[in-house]
Homo-oligomer: A and B are copies of this chain.
Amino acid sequence: MEKALKEVTPRSEDFSKWYTDVVRKADLMDYAPVKGFIVIRPYAYRIWEFIQSDLDARFRATGHQNAYFPLLIPESLLTREAEHVQGFSAEVAWVTRGGGEELAEPLAVRPTSETIVGEMYARWIQSYRDLPVLINQWSNVVRWEKATRPFLRTTEFLWQEGHTVHRTQAEARAETEQQLEAYRGLLKETLAIPAVAGVKSAGERFAGAVETYTLEAMMGDGRALQTATSHFLGQNFSRAFNIQFLDEDGELKYGWTTSWGASTRMLGGLIMVHGDNRGLRLPPRVAPIQVVIVPIAKGREREAVLAHCRQLLQQLSPHLRVHLDQRDEFTPGYKFNDWEMRGVPLRLEVGPRDIAQSQVMVARRDSGEKVAVKADGLAASVAAILEAIQDALYAQALEHMQALSFAIDDYHEAVAKDRRGFFWGNWCGDEACADRLQEEMSMTIRCLPLPNQPDPQHLRSGADCAVCHRPAEHRAVFARAY
């Protein structure tokens, strides 16, 4: 019965069921009373905090500051930029009553903040000396989604949204690319997730953007997840909101703006990239508990072993996030299972024989490998193994992505691969081909990759579109996506 509690549907049997099993059994979330909303439980929230502090450091290092803009946006403001409102209007939640009265104007719960931020920036910016404005906000947003899935698509989610204004187009474009690079750094160095960087096709762009940059990561089932986006907004929003500045040459000019965001959706990506049939596998850099100590002893040896474990805890705690599992109502076997489900990277098993031999048994969550490690210099040994796990998880994820990346000449080739993976093909640029891909294959154009992405085979001259076979203009990644 103990065991049944902590088992999940095998990944290969039903990936989607596996996912919902894991998010529940690892205590990452719970469903809220309102459909589409979730509670982010402490264990998942802690991972989110590590993501926040990683991104915050990157943003701060490039001169960004945090601020906070209101949750509620007047309807008249939201509708100011035509494409933007078209993209979001169907998803908006409206506050229509407040303080016991009907409101004269409905207020949108922010689905994103370009409009309210634009309105304020127009007031704050007068001169070229006020530029660039580099502001980020950590906040909640609401988008009324029809089909939701924990972390991946929820009606409310947490995110950061950066909003910047620049004097020149070149500077704004550089900002957009720099921020994409910040996300890539987070993904690669901290979350151990490889991704393909590219720009979105016109049909997939952020509503109101001139160019949307994206990072597409491959999940365990071969589907794509858009993990973060960075938008070059041109002068669309500065014209709609009148963000103008007096330039050094005495001319009044419109600013060039960008916006960029990453959300709690990343938690879903983290689970789906690294998880296995025993549950979560967390990269050590974002693991709330990096090392769990499990005492293995019965009867009269119990106290001595526990005392020794407490010493270990004290010894390791200054360097690592360590937890000692002292629960006496569970067997060691149950505890192993429990911490594996939660993806704790390393388990230290300590029994009387280990103590006698001045060693601990160290079990790696990523590989299942178990080795005896000398008690002498344990903190350094453990830290080194954690680094190795961090690297191994990235290497595995990269290998997985490469193994499921295929160069295709015709989109039907994806069928032979069960449509699992990233299909790199040529594209004419016609949205009709994108529609056909969607209708016939449930696949979308994830991005038009930037240079130096892991394309299994690059665009050849004279190539034709993998859908319509007319002359191709772009290289593209086709995939099913979350």
Which A residues have a C-beta under 8 Å from some C-beta of B? 30, 32-34, 37-42, 45-46, 48-49, 65-74, 77, 89-100, 106-107, 109, 116, 119-120, 123-124, 129, 135, 139-140, 142, 144-146, 155-156, 158, 329
Contact = CB atoms under 8 A, between A and B. Distances in A.
A106 B97 contact: yes
A68 B94 contact: no
Which of A40, A98, A140, A145 lies at the interface centre, i.e. has the most chain B CB atoms within 10 A of its CB?
A: A98
Contact of A99 (B90, B107, B329): B90
Contact of A158 (B68, B107, B124, B129): B68
28 contacts: A30-B120, A32-B70, A32-B116, A32-B120, A33-B77, A33-B119, A34-B73, A38-B70, A39-B67, A42-B67, A42-B135, A45-B65, A45-B66, A46-B66, A48-B68, A68-B158, A72-B142, A72-B156, A89-B100, A91-B99, A93-B97, A95-B95, A95-B109, A96-B97, A98-B144, A98-B155, A99-B146, A139-B140
A144 B98 CA distance: 6
Nearest to A142: B71
Interface of A is mostly: mixed
A66 B41 CA distance: 8
A338 to B, nearest CB: 14
Given A30-B123, A98-B93, A70 B109 contact: no
B68 A40 contact: yes
Nearest to A154: B70
Given A33-B116, A46-B66, A72-B34, A96 B98 contact: no
A96 B103 CA distance: 12
Given A39-B70, A93-B98, 18 more contacts: A30-B124, A32-B116, A33-B77, A39-B69, A40-B67, A45-B65, A48-B68, A68-B158, A70-B156, A71-B140, A91-B99, A92-B99, A94-B98, A95-B109, A98-B144, A99-B144, A99-B145, A99-B146
